[in-house]
Each structure stands twice: as structure tokens, then as C-alpha cells.
Structure 1
Amino acid sequence: MLSVVIETKNDEEALARTLASLVGGAVEGVVREVIVCDIGSTDQTQRVADHAGCHYVGQGGIAAGIRQARSEWILLLEPGARLVDGWTDEVSSHTGRHTIAARFSQAKAGRPPFLSRLFGRRRPLTEGLVISKRQAVSLAAKASDAEALAKGVATKRLDAEIWVAPLKR
């Protein structure tokens, strides 16, 4: 089973889209819990999290959310990212066989042009991150936020796709 942790700030609409893509995983028993780590929202983020049945963490950031996770594996996502149907089988298979962290593949239809991928700024959580709780706790102790935690983590590529969260303006 998997704990999903999402760090957010003023992302109520994007959070709702991400949570909707997790419903299938919850129904199948792969998603055990969703923890929303809010870092100072002034919109209705907490209300969205509460209505969706998420555990809401209002202080302590990503480190507090990871410490509270009850599963051995954690899926870190950006608000607005959407997992493509069929992701649960691949993640279940990976967590049952491996100890290394993993990232999703960007959905083919949503990939930016080649040169943008090559030279553009890449956010560390663009493709999500499936990571063991033990490794996440260790990294979170030194990281200021979810992106800092995900930066530089060695990963395997999953055969499952993610629609990347749009850039914040």
C-alpha cells in the first residue's frame, strides 16, 4: 500500500484534479491515505482536502507529512499532476520488487517539444516520485520542501504515465 503526499500552497483547483486521478487507486486498495501538506494557503485548499477525505497537515511542511505517513512507500505529487489509468499495477509491482525510488513517464500527448525538454527548466517533482518511507524521512530531514527532497534522487523509470502539473504563474 501507498501513502500519497502532496505539498501545496493556494492550489485548490489543481489539488482537486490530482485527487480525482487517485480515486481508482483508492478503490483498488493501492492508495492507503492521502496527506496534504499545506504551506500557507489562503484559498480553499483545506476544504478541498477535507471533503476528499485527506489528512490535512497545516504546519511542518513535507517533513511532517512524511513522518505521519503510515505506509512503507510514499508517492510524492505536485498539485495538478494527474496519473493515467493503469498506474496502480505498475506501482504495486515496483514496490513489491524494488527498493529504489521511481518516477513516472510523462504522458506522450502532454510532453513538451524536444528542445524544451532538453534545455528547459525541469522541476524535480514533474514526474512524481515513488520512494520508500525510510529514504523519504532521511531526505526530508535535510530538505526545505518537496522539490528539494526530490532533487537528485536516483530513480528507476516506471512504465506508467503522468500528466504533468501546469507551471504556476
Structure 2
Amino acid sequence: MSEQREPWAERTVEMPPGDQNPFRRGRAQVGHARSDQPAQPHVPTGTGWPGDTSAIPRPVFSEELRLFRRGAGLMLMGALFAFVCWGLWAISDGGSLGTPVALFVLTGLVALGLYALARVVGRVVLEKQLGRVRRSARGAHLVTAVFLAGVGLAYLRQIDWVVDAWSWFAGLF
């Protein structure tokens, strides 16, 4: 080949001079390789130039929504546990429900922020740094569920009769 000053030149084939065309018209062979030629192993070419992470295809919105739903049950179970524990705490407090409702809404907003942060960290670490494709949101849902379960346990620790029952149960062993 001649000088390769353009970046595309390294991927092109020079044609021989004159009318000597090395290519023939016909059909491409599809299917099994001929027995006289050994089968070549598949060599993956990647998704673009080395270090180019913008070539990772982004799923469409419906696919993104389907991926979001994977693992959502974990977060919903954590939210249900936190809600039940909050309800027990709010009822046992005996006062007005204004402050407990505001506190639960704030807790929900913090949980949503934690979920968003876990998704961003997953995108940066898995997709950008490691070049992997995320197949679900289970990790972010799990982090949020653990947070909500911890919040529920914190609510339970503030209820006198639950603490007394736990102390009695722990005293049996």
C-alpha cells in the first residue's frame, strides 16, 4: 500500500492498475465452510475504536422501562416494610399526624434520591468505565430496599412496646 496519511486508508484495499478486477460477480457463500478450507475462529471486532464508550447502544425507552422494572419488587417490599413500621410509630406516638407524614414524605424523597444516585453510579462504573451493558436495575433497587428496611427498623426502635417485646424475646435465649 502507499502512504497512509488518512485514517480511512488503513482499511481500504488498493485496486490493481488497469482492467484487472480481482473481484468476481456472483453470490456469497453462506452456510457451512468448504471442507478443503479450515474454519476460521470468530474474532470480535468490538463496538468501535478502542476507548470509545459512546458506541455502546442505548436502549429505547420501552426497553429502558422494562429494565427498570426488573428488581422493582425489592424496593416495593422495602417501601412496604418502612410504611408499616412508620404507621405503627405514627399511631403509637398519639399526636397529630402532620409531622409524621412530613417525615415519611421526606424519607421517600431521600430514598428516591438514593435510587437515582445508585443508577448514576451504576451507569458510570458499569457502562462507562467497564464497558458493560446493564441488564436490569436490581442493584439500585436493592440499595434502596436496604435503606428503606433500615428506616423501618429505626421507626420500630422508637416504639416502646416493640422494644419491650424484643427485649423479652431476646431474654428467652
TM-score band, normalised by shorter chain: under 0.3
Structure with the largest fraction of strand:
1
TM-score after normalising by structure 1: 0.23
TM-score after normalising by structure 2: 0.22
- Structure with max Cα Rg: 2
Structure with the largest fraction of helix:
2
